[in-house]
């Protein structure tokens, strides 16, 4: 014997006559419905895309998290999952796809390369897609295990549940500088993509 | 099915040869030289600069101006039959005085042979070698990549454009030794140039000319395309 | 009426605002003498569509391009007249970065170029580096590497089969085959600690010996796994849709295939029995008993059959490798390349200095060069390394099989229908990480 289960916070169902009814905050209802049926748009480029496929396949089954429908069109997607490295040649593509997605939209940067450039600190790779599009959740790993990706998705659920519809800034479209197309000032980009740690020593050829 | 299908067997030119085995204890220098080298020496004489065996593989250094003849001979001669082009690439050494090397890896499937051809292009001379596209169709992208990465011109290639980097990439040829690992420009400038590509004009000149659409483009895009800029391709 | 080829797919940008303040669209038909040709045909007359070729763009982000390939197709009706592939959307500078890393440090990069076949790439790179150092690896190491290569061939073909089946319209094989792939992931994970990017080898040996009981796990896998392949075989091979969409598609002659430099299942499906394992063997492959499946027409169906049979042959090789796996050391006893054991490095001064110099300066091969090719699931994969006596290669060249295979795609798809392009493209088994590098 124990206590009867507590009602879920914020959601109280009461029996009033024959009509069941619920009181809740509107935000909670909206956020709940958004979070529990996120349609992902997999922007798979490299190794992480294989782990993404493994997550979506039979063993890990992303459908358990409301992601049954993989949306391969950005126009019917809620969350952009950038799985894999993004070279400069691909940068305008991911920017374009992000702009094609309707609000509300979120993005997950899956893996070290998408988040920071990873081990590719060279002439070809963007040092983190957050210099191109805004990112909600970073999933570390090279590549992240499916459990890692699922944890990132759960974090995104949590983030969505905390959103307030009164906060209009949440849904504001990113507006890059029309001349440079950057939405972060160039000195900041240069600073955050400086080599650090061991990679400073690995700029030398020969020896 | 009236006629039984016959697969094309590798090593059909040398039916009596022993079955190939994995190489073991390969010496650094010396060892058996590829039999094709003698034929090359008798046919081309001075055009064969040097031939040596390193780690069991024969390298033949050829006069750059006669590469096409040599490869055509290797491909067509019934005693050689180098019908398979494995790779075309180039090597630049850290010693910037040393000439750039263009490397062809050829296989003779009927004779089961492997040969490496090299042409040395000294610095300061125009970096150009003849294209082998007419002999091996597989050379198409390999040569384009080599042009893209090293700036070596393959004369006679029908469509020598950048392959991996986009058209209008301004920083140079990435695999050259004077190209820094992180590129010539700052990160923000690299990103700006990449994002400045106009997504509306993502078709190359060639594709637009197929569609006869080039004339339909607005003047500013036409101008930018003609200047090789912002094709974003 | 003169028929001009015109595009109707190129999206033209707006050229400003019209009198009503709406964005003005450039007319889709060409202008003639500065005057836009009317879009509406006169009533009662059908617009003449003859000769109107359509330019259609697939990719770089499209689920059927297996990555970030971009194909621009010129269509006449539904028939492909011309195909222009664009690659390089995943160019990450592998070869450049290899010039800045020591030989053992390059191995993590080999994981990530052909990421479906990471263990196989690790082995191929280690073989090339060992040729450059003049090292003979131990017998146990050889057999372990054969196991790694064949496992990785299986998992690569599984992904190919699953995704190709999706492209052609069957979803179930994907789910079945990924279940099997997860079992291989478990095996690899218990061996080296990573699922996908394994970094399995080191110059002169392996990153780790297999743990206790691992061979039982592999034996269980090779006995139970063929059932799944049989199921997929039963589901697809005689399936009317599968057969209808693949047979006779983009048939190739052997001469064409060789001239285009194709390799792997693409070449063997065209009837050329070229397999690097048989013809330029390595790792004592000549002592294993296996067959090289060869197709007769080179069409998409043959490529499927060849790959299906290769999976079975890989299982055969795995069985033999399990039988002969000898005891003994995994790493060579060569202080030039192999680190001292951890317990000695932590207790003994000389070993610690040795360890430090190995890691910081790296082993130095003699001056020379080596091209070592292996049979990867996609074809002949070669690593060409040039050393100038320093600890970092002057040039690390990857000979990517699917790069050369993909370069034939204009020849393969031209004259076929648009829907067949997807099937043909899938049958090449491309991995953009390897193509763009």
Question: Would you give the DSSP letter of residue B13?
Answer: T
Helix (H) or strand (E) holding A12: strand A12-16
Between strands A40-44 and A79-83, the pairing is parallel
Residue C112 to residue C194: CA distance in whole angstroms: 13
Is C74 in contact with C80 (CB distance < 8 Å)?
yes
Residues in chain C, total: 437
Mean residue pLDDT across chain A: 84
Q: Please report the pLDDT score of residue B226 as a whole number.
A: 58
Is A101 in contact with A80 (CB distance < 8 Å)?
yes
Of C90, C111, C197, the CB nearest to A87: C90
Of C62, C92, C109, the CB nearest to A125: C92
Closest to C115 measured CA to CA, from A121, A113, B194, A140: A113
Phi, psi of C171 (to 5 degrees): -95, -30
Question: Cβ contacts (< 8 Å) between B194 and chain A: which residues?
Answer: 88-89, 91-92, 126
Residues 6+ apart with CB under 8 A from C148: C119, C120, C122, C123, C200, C201
Mean residue pLDDT across chain B: 82
Token readout for C154 is 């299986």
Task: Tell me the count of A-C CB pairs closer than 8 A.
Answer: 103
Question: Would you give the DSSP letter of residue B29?
Answer: B
Q: How far is the alpha carbon of A81 from chain B, nearest alpha carbon, in Å?
A: 20
The vertex-B67 CA angle with B66 and B72, nearest 5°, equals 105
Query: Which single residue is written with the structure tokens 């002439």?
Result: A123
Q: How many CB atoms lie within 10 A of CB A21?
A: 10
Q: Please report the pLDDT score of residue C6 as a whole number.
A: 37
Please write the tens of the pLDDT for every residue from B166-220. Answer: 877 888 899 998 888 888 888 888 888 888 766 544 555 556 555 555 566 666 6
Residue A204 to residue B180: CA distance in whole angstroms: 9
Question: Cβ contacts (< 8 Å) between A50 and chain C: which residues?
Answer: 115-116, 159, 196
Domains in chain B, ordered, with CATH?
A: 27-164 (3.30.460.80), 165-233 (no CATH)
Is the Cβ pair B181, A122 closer than 8 Å?
yes
* Per-residue pLDDT band at C77 (split at 50, 70, 90): confident
Please write the tens of the pLDDT for every residue from B1-37. Answer: 445 678 888 888 888 888 888 888 888 888 888 888 8
Closest to B159 measured CA to CA, from C69, C67, C86, C431: C86
Is the Cβ pair B186, A186 closer than 8 Å?
yes
Q: Please report the pLDDT score of residue B119 as a whole number.
A: 93
Residues 6+ apart with CB under 8 A from A200: none
Q: Which residues of B196-228 are buried (b: 16+ CB within 10 A; e: fewer)?
A: ebbebbbbbbebbebbebbebbeeebbebbeee
Please indicate, yes or no, whether the overall pTM of this predicted structure exceeds 0.80.
yes
Residue B103 to residue B88: CA distance in whole angstroms: 6
Q: Which residues of C97-117 are buried (b: 16+ CB within 10 A; e: fewer)?
A: bbbbbbbbbbbbbbbbbbbbb
Kindly report the CATH class assigned to C94-401: mainly alpha
Of A96, A123, A176, the CB nearest to B181: A123
Judged by DSSP in three states, C221 sits in helix
Please write the tens of the pLDDT for every residue from C85-135. Answer: 888 888 998 999 888 888 998 999 999 988 999 999 999 999 999 999 999
Closest to A98 measured CA to CA, from A185, A152, A189, A176: A176
* Per-residue pLDDT band at A70 (split at 50, 70, 90): confident
> Most A CBs within 10 Å: which of C11, C13, C60, C61, as the mutation test of the A interface?
C61
Please write the tens of the pLDDT for every residue from A109-162. Answer: 999 989 988 888 888 899 889 888 999 999 998 889 999 999 999 999 999 998
Question: Cβ contacts (< 8 Å) between C381 and chain B: which residues?
Answer: none
CA-to-CA dists, residue B56 to A186, B113, C52, C427, angstroms: 52, 12, 57, 36
Peptide bond just before C156 cis, omega within 30 deg:
no
Q: Which fold has domain A39-190?
A: Rossmann fold (3.40.50)
Is the Cβ pair B149, C134 closer than 8 Å?
no
| Structural domain boundaries in chain A | 39-190
A199 touches chain C (CB under 8 A): no
Question: Would you give the DSSP letter of residue B215?
Answer: G
Query: Which single residue is written with the structure tokens 């999206």?
Result: C11
Is C94 in contact with C403 (CB distance < 8 Å)?
no
Question: Cβ contacts (< 8 Å) between C406 and chain B: which residues?
Answer: 141
Calculate mean pLDDT across residues C263-267: 90
Q: Please report the pLDDT score of residue A13 as a whole number.
A: 63
Q: Which residue of C has its CA nearest to B9?
A: C273
Question: Cβ contacts (< 8 Å) between A127 and chain B: which residues?
Answer: 187
Phi, psi of C9 (to 5 degrees): -110, -25
Is the Cβ pair C55, B203 closer than 8 Å?
yes
Helix (H) or strand (E) holding C94: helix C94-98
Of A91, A187, A203, the CB nearest to B181: A203
C113 touches chain B (CB under 8 A): no
Is B171 in contact with B183 (CB distance < 8 Å)?
yes
Calculate mean pLDDT across residues C25-49: 46
Q: Which residue of B has its CA nearest to C87?
A: B164
Between strands C35-36 and C201-202, the pairing is unpaired
């Amino acid at each position: 014997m124990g206590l009867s289960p507590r009602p879920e916070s914020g959601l109280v169902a009461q029996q009033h006559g024959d009509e069941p009814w619920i009181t809740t905050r509107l935000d909670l209802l909206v956020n709940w419905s958004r979070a529990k049926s996120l349609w992902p748009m997999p922007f798979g480029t490299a190794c992480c895309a294989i782990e993404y496929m493994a997550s979506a396949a039979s063993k890990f089954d992303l459908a358990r998290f409301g992601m049954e429908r993989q949306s391969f069109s950005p126009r019917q997607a809620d969350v952009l999952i950038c799985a894999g490295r993004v070279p400069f040649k691909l940068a305008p593509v991911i920017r374009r796809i992000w702009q094609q997605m309707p609000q509300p939209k979120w993005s997950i940067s899956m893996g070290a390369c998408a988040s920071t450039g990873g081990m590719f600190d060279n002439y070809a790779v963007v040092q983190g897609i957050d210099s191109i599009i805004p990112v909600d959740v970073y999933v570390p790993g090279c590549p992240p295990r499916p459990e890692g990706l699922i944890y990132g998705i759960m974090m995104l659920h949590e983030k969505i549940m905390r959103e307030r519809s009164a906060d209009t800034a949440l849904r504001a479209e990113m507006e890059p500088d029309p001349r440079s197309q950057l939405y972060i000032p160039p000195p900041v980009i240069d600073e955050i993509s400086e080599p650090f740690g061991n990679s400073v020593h690995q700029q030398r050829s020969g020896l | 099915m009236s006629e039984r299908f016959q697969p094309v067997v590798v090593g059909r030119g040398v039916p009596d040869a022993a079955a190939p085995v994995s190489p073991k204890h390969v010496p650094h220098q010396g060892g058996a030289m590829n039999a094709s080298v003698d034929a090359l020496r008798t046919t081309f004489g001075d055009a064969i600069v040097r031939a040596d065996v390193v780690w069991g593989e024969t390298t033949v250094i050829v006069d750059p101006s006669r590469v096409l003849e040599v490869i055509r001979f290797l491909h067509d001669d019934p005693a050689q039959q180098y019908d398979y082009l494995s790779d075309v690439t180039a090597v630049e050494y850290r010693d910037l005085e040393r000439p750039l090397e263009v490397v062809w890896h050829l296989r003779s499937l009927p004779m089961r042979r492997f040969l490496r051809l090299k042409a040395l292009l000294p610095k300061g001379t125009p970096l150009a070698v003849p294209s082998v596209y007419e002999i091996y169709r597989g050379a198409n992208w390999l040569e384009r990549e080599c042009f893209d990465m090293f700036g070596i011109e393959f004369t006679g290639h029908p469509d020598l454009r950048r392959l991996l980097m986009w058209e209008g990439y301004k920083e140079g040829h990435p695999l050259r030794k004077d190209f820094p690992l992180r590129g010539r420009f700052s990160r923000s400038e690299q990103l700006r140039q990449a994002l400045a590509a106009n997504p509306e004009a993502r078709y190359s000149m060639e594709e637009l000319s197929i569609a006869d659409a080039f004339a339909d483009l607005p003047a500013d895009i036409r101008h930018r395309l003609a200047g090789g800029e912002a094709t974003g391709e | 009426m003169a028929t001009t080829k015109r595009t109707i797919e190129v999206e033209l940008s707006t050229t400003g605002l019209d009198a009503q303040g709406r964005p003005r669209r450039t007319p889709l038909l060409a202008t003639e003498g500065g005057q836009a040709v009317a879009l509406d045909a006169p009533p009662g007359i059908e617009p003449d569509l003859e000769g109107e070729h359509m330019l259609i763009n697939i990719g770089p982000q499209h689920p059927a391009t297996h990555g970030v390939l971009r194909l621009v197709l010129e269509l006449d009706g539904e028939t492909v007249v011309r195909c222009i592939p664009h690659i390089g959307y995943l160019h990450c500078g592998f070869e450049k970065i290899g010039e800045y890393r020591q030989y053992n440090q390059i191995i993590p990069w080999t994981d990530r170029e052909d990421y479906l076949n990471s263990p196989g790439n690790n082995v191929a790179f280690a073989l090339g580096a060992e040729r450059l150092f003049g090292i003979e690896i131990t017998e146990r190491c050889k057999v372990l590497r054969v196991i790694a290569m064949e496992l990785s061939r299986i998992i690569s073909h599984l992904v190919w089969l699953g995704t190709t089946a999706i492209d052609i319209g069957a979803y179930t094989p994907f789910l079945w085959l990924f279940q099997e792939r997860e079992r291989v992931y478990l095996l690899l994970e218990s061996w080296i600690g990573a699922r996908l990017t394994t970094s399995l080898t080191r110059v002169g040996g392996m990153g780790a010996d297999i743990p206790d009981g691992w061979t039982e796990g592999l034996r269980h896998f090779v006995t139970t796994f063929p059932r799944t392949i049989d199921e997929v075989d039963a589901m697809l091979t005689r399936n009317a849709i599968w057969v209808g969409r693949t047979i006779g598609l983009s048939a190739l002659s052997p001469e064409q295939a060789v001239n285009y430099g194709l390799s792997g299942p693409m070449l063997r499906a065209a009837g050329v029995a070229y397999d690097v394992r048989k013809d330029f063997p390595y790792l004592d492959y000549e002592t294993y008993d296996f067959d090289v499946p060869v197709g007769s027409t080179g069409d998409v169906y043959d490529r499927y059959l060849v790959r299906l049979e290769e999976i079975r042959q890989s299982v055969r090789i795995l069985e033999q490798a399990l039988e002969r796996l000898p005891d003994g050391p995994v790493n060579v006893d060569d202080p030039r390349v192999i680190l001292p054991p951890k317990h000695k490095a932590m207790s003994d001064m000389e070993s610690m200095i040795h360890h430090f110099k190995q890691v910081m300066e790296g082993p130095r091969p003699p001056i020379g060069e080596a091209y070592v090719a292996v049979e990867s699931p996609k074809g002949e994969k070669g690593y060409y390394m040039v050393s100038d006596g320093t600890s970092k290669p002057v040039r690390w060249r990857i000979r990517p099989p699917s790069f050369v295979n993909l370069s034939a795609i204009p020849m393969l798809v031209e004259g076929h229908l648009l829907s067949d392009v997807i099937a043909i493209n899938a049958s090449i088994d491309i991995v953009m990480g390897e193509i763009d590098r």
